[in-house]
């Protein structure tokens, strides 16, 4: 490790590595270190359910995530790495009138922003996803769904590795198993970072640690509007391919897709109380299984292979915190709750632009940290695990 870097990025996940990659590719800034306390992609980047979509509820959100989907579409080519992006279509089910109304509104907001998204009803649903129980018998009958054809799944590890290799090839240093223990501040500006492998001086420090941002911010005496919750997910043993869309239900707090290996990848909402513990619970497994069987009763004999948890730092308005902070040269890419992975490319690209130009790109302006004091929140109720 050198003793000085122009840019130090804390967190070697998809966000941090993408930022390093675009700093080097677009702005020629290569004196960059990415530091992670574990291996790259050990946090949220390797723990999400790998769903990509842009059918959000707010204009700001839709524009941001749509820019991300467009980058994902060209990512395998760009990184020369097979990220296995499969735009197989994404269904968000509505089980009551209130949800149908929300889906209709989302579809209209999406269309205004040029995103392919529309409301479909059981007759069409039966063609898109005949595996669903569309009868009127279930406790939560399916009345309609928001259909988003460009949505899909990707191999999340490949995204991390692709960005890491691209950044590395352009001269970025990646330091794994190096934990940041402190951040030095003098006269209100960041001067350096202390780590378990030595101290270094830094021009700019970017915190890109999903889940742990409050702890990093505390090193510069900053309190953030974030609370950290675990979110659990699981996979079944491999089954023959039968499901070629992503199925989500906000009311049942469940999302299901089938991976290329045949496993059903399933996630739920955040746990009922905050924690930094990533231990799994039987409560989660029981609740999730019940909800999945509500949608696909024939899966009752499927067996769970493994379960895990990741950390989600939730802001009050379900929108991220990005950009400048009161501490000069300390930047945030935080508050990525349940929706961070799908935003990785655009976060990396816009944060790199912000670091290089010292100007907040237009796409990031709505997500500035000062929005709370300005009473200008971005209420993103289209985020995963937010009930409708």
CB of 103 to other proteins, least distance (A): 28
Q: Is 186 in the site for other proteins (CB under 8 A)?
A: no
Measured CA to CA, the distance from residue 216 to residue 306 in angstroms comes to: 31
Nearer to other proteins by C-beta: 121 or 324? 324
Least Cα distance to 340 among 218, 197, 185, 231 occurs for 231
Among 224, 363, 384, 386, binds other proteins (CB under 8 A): 224
- State yes or no: residue 272 binds other proteins (CB under 8 A): yes
Binding status of residue 276 toward other proteins by CB under 8 A: yes
Binding track, positions 315-344, relative to other proteins; x by CB under 8 A: -x----------------------------
Candidates 225, 262, 280, 361; binder of other proteins (CB under 8 A) is 225
* Among positions 35, 94, 226, 299, the unique one binding other proteins when judged by CB under 8 A: 226
If one asks whether residue 38 binds other proteins (CB under 8 A), the answer comes out as no
- CB contact at 8 A, 344 and 68: yes
Distances (CA, A) of 231 to 151, 304, 337: 21, 17, 9
Q: Single out the residue of 21, 65, 161, 212 in contact with other proteins (rule: CB under 8 A).
A: 212
What end-to-end distance do the CA atoms of the chain give, in Å? 48
What is the C-alpha separation between 242 and 247, in angstroms, rounded?
A: 13
Part in contact with other proteins (CB under 8 A); list of ranges 111-119, 221-229, 293-301, 378-386 = 221-229
Nearer to other proteins, 294 or 317 (CB): 317
Closest Cα partner for 225 from 14, 374, 383? 374
Q: Which two tokens stand for residue 69?
A: 């989907």
Report, in Å, the least distance between residue 228 CB and other proteins: 6
Phi, psi of 175 (to 5 degrees): -110, 105
Answer for which of 157, 302, 372, 381 binds other proteins (CB under 8 A) is 372
What does residue 140 show for φ and ψ, rounded to 5 degrees?
-120, 80
Q: Please state, in angstroms and as integers, the Cα–Cα distance from residue 181 to each residue in 8, 12, 166, 193, 197, following that order.
A: 14, 16, 28, 8, 10
Strand, helix or coil at 246? Answer: strand
Nearest residue (CB) to other proteins, 176 versus 274 = 274
| Least distance to other proteins, CB of residue 319, Å | 13
Mask of contacts with other proteins, 281-300, x by CB under 8 A? Answer: xxx-----------------
236, 214 contact by CB (below 8 A): no
Closest CA to 333 of 160, 325, 92: 325
Which part of the chain contacts other proteins (CB under 8 A), choosing from 23-31, 40-48, 262-270, 273-281? 273-281
CB of 2 to other proteins, least distance (A): 25
H/E stretch holding 6? strand 4-10
* By CB under 8 A, residue 184 contacts other proteins: no
**Selected binder of other proteins within 45, 54, 110, 214 (CB under 8 A):** 214
Residues that bind other proteins (CB under 8 A): 181, 212, 214-215, 218, 223-228, 272-277, 279, 281-283, 313, 316, 372-373
């Amino acid at each position: 490790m050198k003793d000085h870097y122009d840019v130090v990025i804390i967190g070697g996940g998809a966000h941090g590595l993408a930022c390093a990659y675009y700093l080097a590719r677009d702005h020629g800034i290569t004196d960059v270190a990415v530091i992670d306390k574990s291996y790259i992609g050990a946090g949220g980047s390797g723990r999400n359910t790998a769903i990509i979509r842009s059918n959000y509820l707010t204009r700001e959100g839709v524009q941001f995530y749509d820019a991300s989907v467009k980058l994902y579409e060209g990512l395998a080519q760009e990184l020369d790495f097979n990220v296995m992006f499969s735009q197989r279509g994404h269904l968000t089910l509505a089980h009551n009138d209130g949800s149908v109304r929300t889906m209709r509104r989302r579809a209209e907001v999406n269309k205004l922003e040029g995103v392919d998204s529309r409301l479909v009803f059981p007759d069409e649903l039966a063609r898109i996803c005949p595996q669903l129980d569309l009868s009127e018998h279930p406790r939560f009958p399916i009345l309609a769904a928001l259909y988003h054809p460009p949505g899909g799944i990707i191999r999340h590890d490949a995204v991390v590795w692709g960005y890491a290799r691209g950044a590395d090839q352009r001269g970025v240093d990646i330091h794994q198993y190096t934990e940041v223990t402190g951040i030095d501040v003098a006269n209100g500006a960041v001067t350096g970072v202390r780590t378990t492998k030595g101290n270094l001086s830094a021009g700019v420090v970017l915190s890109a640690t999903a889940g742990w941002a409050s702890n990093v911010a505390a090193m510069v005496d900053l309190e953030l509007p974030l609370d950290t919750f675990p979110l659990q997910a699981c996979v079944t043993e491999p089954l023959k391919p039968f499901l070629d869309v992503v199925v989500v239900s906000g009311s049942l707090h469940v999302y299901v897709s089938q991976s290329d290996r045949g496993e059903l990848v399933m996630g739920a909402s955040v746990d009922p109380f905050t924690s930094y513990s990533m231990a799994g619970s039987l409560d989660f497994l029981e609740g999730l299984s019940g909800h999945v069987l509500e949608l696909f009763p024939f899966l009752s004999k499927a067996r769970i292979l493994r379960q895990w948890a990741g950390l989600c730092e939730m802001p009050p308005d379900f929108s991220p915190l990005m950009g400048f902070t009161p501490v000069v040269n300390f930047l945030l890419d935080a508050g990525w709750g349940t929706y961070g992975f799908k935003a990785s490319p655009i976060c990396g690209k816009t944060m790199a632009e912000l670091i290089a130009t010292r100007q907040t790109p237009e796409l990031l302006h709505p997500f500035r940290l000062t929005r709370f004091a300005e009473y200008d929140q971005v209420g993103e109720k289209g985020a995963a695990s937010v009930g409708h």
